[in-house]
Structure 1
Amino acid sequence: MNGGLLAREDQLFFGLDLVSGTVFQTDLSGRVLRMIEFGSPSEASGVGGLTLDDRGFLYVADPVGQKLRVFDPEGVKSRVIGEERQLHLARGLQLVERDGVLEDPNDVAVDAEGNVYVACGEQFIVHGLQKFSAQGLHTLSFSSMGEPGGTFGGPRGLTLDPDGTLWLCDTQFHRLQRFEPGGRFLDVLGPPRNEPLVSPYAVTMLPDGDLLVAQSLGLIVLGRDDARRRPFTNRRLARVCDVCCCAGTVWILEREIGNFGIRVSRFDVEGNLLGVVVSGMRDLVGKASTWLKAEMGRSLPPSQAWHRLGVLYHYVLPETFSNLKHAERCYRKSLQAEPVGFEVSLDLAEVLTRRGRPEEAMRLHRECLEIRPEDESIRLRLALLLCQKGDKKQACQLLLDGLELSPESELLRSELDRLT
């Protein structure tokens, strides 16, 4: 999916699978109301499918960070649902599929009772659709085509019928599957009963009960019995990341070539363009900057606001000299407001590395390492900079010191083996 989109009658939520996960909450004109951020320079994250429950809690599938994140109505992190794949591995358990372990969560849906459904898996997987209670406890793993041990093919998009049944994009098997909330298989659109779709990966329900499906060849409308298939619109679209229908309006999130463009558009149910809410990444950054500057010193401390501005220039916009320069300026203003800023220092070190100033970057990495000596990612970055400087001996010693703190670290050991 490479991103997620959610529409409500007066608001939009959307985001892309960038290095640092950000969900933008806007009004229907695209004016930014809030930025919900998660992840960090040392914790990669991204945005997959999104949904809201009846209480206004936001659920974010994070296929990059391997988590299902939940945020309260104020955008504050509430909890994580499911056992994370990395945690499962960190406990020394074999990498096998298991109930409750979320591997590459791609999309999420919540029913009226608060039950949570997660589509997960990058490739072929048995536990590709899992159900959790409102309290976050695993209650069910669905079986593909109703067959015990049946395999899903990289399941992506997920949507709920008004009657509570689920439609799942079984991407690599080129079909949609339909299930009851209790797990019973109901129907399939595509093989083996119908002509295959072309790698469907996002789906939403239209007001008349038809399905709007994003597939590799574009958007199509399907009847529930697959007797009718037609293109949704004649307009040329970029890569569609996600689709959503709300109050008779279809919202489409597109990603431009090169991954640095974004467009959020609204259509009527007949496929006619009604307007463009976000016309590009620079447009989005401009709107986000306006919100951040307005909230600086009010709902956001200046250090946090400047850091978020820096992240927009650093990670969201293309990596150009001008954008990196703006990012450095924002990060330094953040550190002026709050000198001890661990994540800000890491981001600034990365910018300085990109701008060809390794000595300054190494100084910041060393300062961060004093705060978190067990952080593997900092040691690896600093070791790389030392190697580029020609100081291989010091780089190896840095990794050895890290292994004394974390003897089981495969990352540090493999890098040390590579250097020696």
Structure 2
Amino acid sequence: MTFKTLDDLTDLSGKTALVRVDFNVPMDNGVITDDTRLKVALPTIEKLVAKGAKVALLAHFDRPKGKVVPEMSLKPVVEPLSKLLGKPVTFASDCIGDDAKSVVAALPAGGVALLENVRFHAGEEKNDADFAKALAEVGDIYVNDAFSAAHRAHASTEGLAHLLPAYAGESMKRELNALDAALGNPQRPTLGIVGGSKVSTKLDLLKNLVGKLDALAIGGGMANTFLFAQGHDVGGSLCEKDLKDTALEIIAEAEAKGCRLLLPVDLVVAQEFKANAANRTQDLGAPLSAEDKIFDAGPETVEQLKEVMANSKTLIWNGPLGVFELPPFDAATVAAAKFAASQTKSGKLVAVAGGGDTVAALNHAGVVADMTFVSTAGGAFLEWMEGKELPGVAALES
């Protein structure tokens, strides 16, 4: 896809950039506990400021459902954002109307204002045309820097892009370029790793990927469903036995489309789910009791995956290979992640990962900084991997 970026803009003196950011940050009693999303927005804000624009930030927080909920105000974001930017940030008590316009009008060139929660208006989530027009009246150009909200067709993520000249912000540009490198126009051979607990939550994803990748490794509780479908005993493990036929269809589709499916060849088994529980590693096909549960892939499975990874040029990763939250059931995920990081650092692999559990697992392995790109956008990343059109991205296409 082609989209305009901030590099297409020159002098913006006298112009106001309406910038959609994701400031839906974790908060405890009005105090931000993780400012990652604020930091992600800084390059876009700073680039617009350097071009002389007034910057008016649009964001949502929590789910006020179209009503003003004081505890869901964005006001607590102002001070921490100001500190990160090293300059004052003005707050407007509304995102439309006279208050928003007067606050923005009073800004000097290069000034920054944060407008109140767009979801305080019912028109936001309905993508209401009149609400989108009211937002557009506050600015001259529109910049979308919130990929994590791009799967929503809301007024501030989609409607606005049709009313003002629209551009992708720095974070959005980075995300779209990384995703294109992973699935759009990847270097081949391509490998996918999909893990997690349930096949049912990732059916669309699996069906899309087997048609696009050269190899796909399935791990976590999902793998149990595939192993069961193939006739293997999974003991008392998490397994969606009612999806046996679906798993067999995906296996057949992968074969028909030339995608090599990698399933565990050995298993880490325990009878209780707790840290450092008594466990054993056994080959696939060895007997399991009703009390035995599979909590991780074994070392042979990891070696097989590393071998395929060593011969791949692109990796896309969503979901852990085992119950990584508790040792020793993090071993497969950590070993695979460290190998992926080493391949990426040495320039042999483009590795793109995303989704909530994936980010947590890669952080646990200490490799986030070494991957090509790690997306923190959960739902949007997953829908993009499923091959679905993201309204907020489609609206930026030029």
Higher strand share: 1
Higher relative contact order (CA 8 A, sep 6+): 2
* Normalised TM-score (structure 1): 0.29
Higher helix share: 2
